[in-house]
C-alpha cells in the first residue's frame, strides 16, 4: 500500500511531496528548509531512499541536493539539466524501485523548461499518481517563458504536447500532483480546488481541450510579469544551493536600526498592515509576515542588499526567516523583536499614516489634491479600474516613485496587502499617503465605477 504526503509551501504557492511504501520513500521537489520533509518521513517511519527534481526550479531554491546528502538518498535530476554537481541523470522511460511493488517512472514533459520531467508512481505496475511539477497543473500548465524569450513559443507548444502525452499514457483515475499552481507565479494561471486527476483535466484543462494554436495564443496572451528574483533561482539551483542557517540574526537596537536606514539598507517590518499604519519606524517598509513576504520582498529588494527584520514576536521572525531562505535571502543583517516604541531612538516618535475603505475614497474622489494609485498587476486592472487612477504595479513602484503625481496618495490593490507595501514605500519617501485596506469589489459597492481597460478615464 502506498502513501503520498503533501508538504504545503503556501507562501510561494507550491507543493512538495513525500511518497512511498512500508519502508522507503521518495521526496519530490523538496523545499530548501528540508527539516519538514525529514519530519514527514519520521512520522511515517520510512527512510528517504530517493530525492527527485522535476526540473531546475526558477521560483525557489531547492533543498534536493542537501536532502540527498543528509539522508544518503539517490538524487535524480533530468539528464538534460545543466548542473554543476553529481546526480543520477534521469532519462525518459527510466524506472527506479521505491519500495516493494512501488516504482517511479520518468516521462519527459518539456514545456515549463526544456528538460522538464514528470514522474509516475506505479503500484504493482499500475499508475496511481503522477508528479507533474510544472507540466500539467490543476486546470492549467506551468509558464513557458521563464527560460529564454526566444524559446517561449516553442516551449508553449511543447506544454501542449506534454499534457497530451500524460493524458494518453495514464489512466483517468491517476492523481495529478503538481508542484506549482497554488498561488505560484510559475503557473500560467491560478488553480482552483485542491486535487485533480487525469480524467478531470481532460474535461477542462485548456491544454487538453483546445487545439495547439488556440492554446498557445491564449497562454502567451495571459502571461503576466515575472518576479525579478526568479533570475537568481535557476543559477543557484544549477550550481548546488548552500546549506541554510536559520539561527536568530544579530539583534539591532534603535541606534543600529537608524544607522542601517541611514546607510540605505532595507529595514522591513513584518507586523500586520494595521499595526504598521498605526506606528512604525520612519523609513521602514511593511511586508506582512502573514502575506506573501518571500515573494514580494524578494521581488522588490535590490538583490543582495542587506535587510533588517522587525517582528512582533520571535515566532514571527523565525517564520519569516524560513520563508526568505526559500528564495535565496539567506541571512538577515540584523533583527529586532517588539514594537516601534523600542525601535526608535530616544526623543523620536513612530511614524504613521491613515487607513481607509473605498467608501471613504468615494467621498474624496475628484478632489484636486487626491491621487488614486492602483498597484495591481496589468491583468487585474484589465478587469476594471477606478476612473482617473494612476496605475503602477507594486513591483515597479520602488523604481517609479517620481511617476506618482503630487497630492495625497490613496493607494489600493485587490485586498489591501500590496497597498500596504506600496503605502510604506511612499511613506518612506516622504509622501502623504492613505492605505485603502479594502477589497476591490467594494469600489463598485461604494459607487465608484470600475471602467474597462482601454477606456480613458
End-to-end CA distance of the chain: 61
Tell me: the pLDDT tens digits for 253-266?
A: 999 999 999 999 99
Has residue 422 been placed in a domain? yes
Residue 456 confidence (pLDDT):
30
Share of the chain above pLDDT 90, in %: 90
Residue 181 pLDDT level (bands cut at 50, 70, 90): confident
What mean pLDDT is predicted for residues 383-395?
94
Residue 383 pLDDT level (bands cut at 50, 70, 90): confident
Of 343, 370, 396, the one marking the end of a domain is 343
- Write the CB contacts of 414 (distance below 8 Å, at least 6 apart in sequence): 376, 380, 439, 440
User: Could you tell me if 307 and 369 lie in one domain?
Assistant: no
Checking if the pLDDT of 6 tops 80, the result is yes
Has residue 249 been placed in a domain? no
User: Could you tell me if 275 and 216 lie in one domain?
Assistant: no
Checking if the pLDDT of 97 tops 80, the result is yes
Residue 453 pLDDT level (bands cut at 50, 70, 90): very low
User: Could you tell me if 185 and 72 lie in one domain?
Assistant: yes
CATH number at residue 394: 3.40.250.10
Residue 193 pLDDT level (bands cut at 50, 70, 90): low
**3-state helix vs strand vs coil in the chain, percent to 5:** 30, 25, 45
User: Could you tell me if 91 and 182 lie in one domain?
Assistant: yes
Q: Where are the alpha helices (DSSP H) in 72-111?
A: none
What total number of domains does the chain contain?
3
User: Could you tell me if 216 and 291 lie in one domain?
Assistant: no
Has residue 309 been placed in a domain? yes
Has residue 452 been placed in a domain? no
Residue 455 confidence (pLDDT):
32
Has residue 248 been placed in a domain? no
Residue 184 pLDDT level (bands cut at 50, 70, 90): confident
Burial of 220 (0-12, 13-18, 19+ CB in 10 A): middle
In contact, 312 and 269? CB cutoff 8 Å: no
In contact, 334 and 250? CB cutoff 8 Å: yes
What mean pLDDT is predicted for residues 115-131?
98
Checking if the pLDDT of 430 tops 70, the result is yes
Residue 249 confidence (pLDDT):
96
Residue 183 confidence (pLDDT):
76
What mean pLDDT is predicted for residues 398-404?
97
Has residue 273 been placed in a domain? yes
Domain that holds residue 363: 355-445
What mean pLDDT is predicted for residues 236-246?
95
CATH number at residue 224: 3.60.15.10
Q: Give the DSSP letter string of 141-190.
A: EB-S-SS-GGGHHHHHHHHHHHHHHHHHHS-TTPEEEESS-SS-TTBSS-
Has residue 327 been placed in a domain? yes
User: Could you tell me if 113 and 26 lie in one domain?
Assistant: yes
Has residue 320 been placed in a domain? yes
User: Could you tell me if 32 and 132 lie in one domain?
Assistant: yes
Q: Among 6-20, 101-115, 391-405, 408-422, name the one with the lowest average pLDDT.
A: 6-20
Residue 186 confidence (pLDDT):
75
Checking if the pLDDT of 373 tops 60, the result is yes
User: Could you tell me if 275 and 233 lie in one domain?
Assistant: no
Tell me: the pLDDT tens digits for 71-96?
A: 999 999 999 999 999 999 999 999 99
Amino acid at each position: 500500500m502506498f502513501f503520498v504526503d503533501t508538504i504545503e509551501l503556501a507562501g510561494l504557492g507550491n507543493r512538495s511531496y513525500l511518497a512511498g511504501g512500508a519502508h522507503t520513500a521518495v521526496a519530490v521537489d523538496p523545499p530548501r528548509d528540508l527539516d519538514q520533509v525529514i519530519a514527514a518521513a519520521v512520522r511515517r517511519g520510512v527512510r528517504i531512499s530517493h530525492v527527485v527534481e522535476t526540473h531546475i526550479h526558477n521560483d525557489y531554491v531547492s533543498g534536493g541536493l542537501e536532502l540527498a546528502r543528509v539522508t544518503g538518498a539517490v538524487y535524480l535530476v533530468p539528464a538534460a539539466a545543466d548542473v554543476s554537481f553529481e546526480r543520477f541523470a534521469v532519462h525518459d522511460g527510466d524506472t527506479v524501485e521505491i519500495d516493494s511493488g512501488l516504482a517511479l517512472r520518468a516521462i519527459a514533459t518539456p514545456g515549463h523548461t526544456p528538460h522538464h520531467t514528470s514522474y509516475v508512481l506505479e503500484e504493482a505496475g499500475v499508475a496511481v499518481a503522477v508528479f507533474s511539477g510544472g507540466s500539467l497543473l490543476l486546470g492549467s500548465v506551468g509558464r513557458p517563458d521563464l527560460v529564454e524569450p526566444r524559446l517561449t513559443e516553442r516551449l508553449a507548444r511543447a506544454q501542449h504536447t506534454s499534457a497530451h502525452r500524460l493524458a494518453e499514457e495514464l489512466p483517468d483515475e491517476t492523481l495529478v500532483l503538481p508542484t506549482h499552481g497554488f498561488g505560484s507565479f510559475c503557473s500560467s494561471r491560478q488553480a482552483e480546488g485542491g486535487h485533480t486527476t487525469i480524467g478531470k483535466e481532460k474535461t477542462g484543462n485548456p491544454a487538453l481541450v483546445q487545439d495547439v494554436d488556440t492554446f498557445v495564443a491564449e497562454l502567451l496572451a495571459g502571461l503576466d510579469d515575472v518576479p525579478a528574483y526568479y533570475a537568481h533561482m535557476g543559477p543557484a539551483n544549477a550550481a548546488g544551493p548552500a546549506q541554510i542557517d536559520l539561527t536568530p540574526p544579530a539583534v539591532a537596537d534603535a541606534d543600529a536600526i537608524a544607522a542601517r536606514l541611514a546607510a540605505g539598507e532595507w529595514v522591513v517590518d513584518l507586523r500586520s498592515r494595521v499595526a504598521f499604519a498605526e506606528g512604525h519606524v520612519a523609513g521602514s517598509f511593511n511586508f506582512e509576515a502573514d502575506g506573501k513576504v518571500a515573494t514580494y520582498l524578494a521581488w522588490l529588494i535590490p538583490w543582495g542588499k542587506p535587510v533588517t527584520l522587525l517582528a512582533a514576536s520571535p515566532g514571527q521572525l523565525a517564520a519569516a526567516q524560513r520563508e526568505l531562505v526559500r528564495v535565496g535571502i539567506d541571512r538577515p543583517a540584523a533583527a529586532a523583536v517588539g514594537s516601534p516604541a523600542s525601535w526608535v531612538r530616544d526623543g523620536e516618535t513612530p511614524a504613521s499614516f491613515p487607513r481607509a475603505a473605498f467608501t471613504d475614497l468615494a467621498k474624496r474622489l475628484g478632489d484636486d489634491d487626491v491621487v488614486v494609485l492602483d498597484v495591481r498587476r496589468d491583468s487585474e486592472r484589465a478587469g476594471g479600474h477606478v476612473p482617473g487612477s494612476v496605475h503602477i504595479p507594486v513591483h515597479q513602484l520602488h523604481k517609479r516613485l517620481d511617476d506618482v503625481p503630487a497630492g495625497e496618495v490613496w493607494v489600493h490593490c485587490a485586498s489591501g496587502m500590496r497597498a500596504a507595501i506600496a503605502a510604506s514605500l511612499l511613506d518612506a519617501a516622504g509622501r502623504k499617503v492613505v492605505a485603502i485596506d479594502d477589497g476591490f469589489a467594494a469600489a463598485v459597492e461604494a459607487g465608484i465605477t470600475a471602467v474597462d481597460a482601454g477606456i480613458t478615464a
